[in-house]
């Protein structure tokens, strides 16, 4: 949210984020159907599993559990 709307304005963030999210999902569905027709539906599972593994690795690198934060409770 900080990248799209640095002043934390939710209306601007949602106006930009939701079309991008919906567009990416539609593009992913289109590409998946196109590749499954040309390469075969079995091959698509290998590519999607590689994509999910890459996404998980990015999440492990970027996200953290805030180990050194002050406790608020």
State the residue for tokens 């963030």. Answer: 13
Do 44 and 36 meet the contact criterion of CB atoms below 8 Å apart?
Answer: yes
Q: What is the pLDDT of residue 44?
A: 84
Q: For 68, phi and psi rounded to 5 degrees?
A: -105, 15
The rounded average pLDDT for each run of 10 residues, N- to C-terminus, in the chain (73 residues) is 72 83 92 87 86 90 70 57
List Cβ neighbours of 44 (8 Å cut-off, separation of 6 or more): 32, 35, 36
Identify the DSSP state of 67.
Answer: T
Do 4 and 13 meet the contact criterion of CB atoms below 8 Å apart?
Answer: yes
Q: What is the pLDDT of residue 66?
A: 65
Q: What is the pLDDT of residue 68?
A: 64
Every domain of the chain and the residues it spans = 10-62
């Amino acid at each position: 949210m900080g990248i799209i709307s640095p002043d934390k304005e939710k209306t601007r963030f949602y106006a930009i984020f939701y079309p991008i999210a919906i567009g990416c999902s539609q593009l992913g569905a289109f590409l998946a159907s196109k590749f499954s027709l040309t390469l075969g539906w079995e091959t698509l599972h290998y590519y999607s599993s590689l994509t999910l593994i890459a996404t998980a690795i990015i999440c492990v690198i970027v996200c953290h559990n805030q180990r050194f934060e002050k406790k608020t409770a």
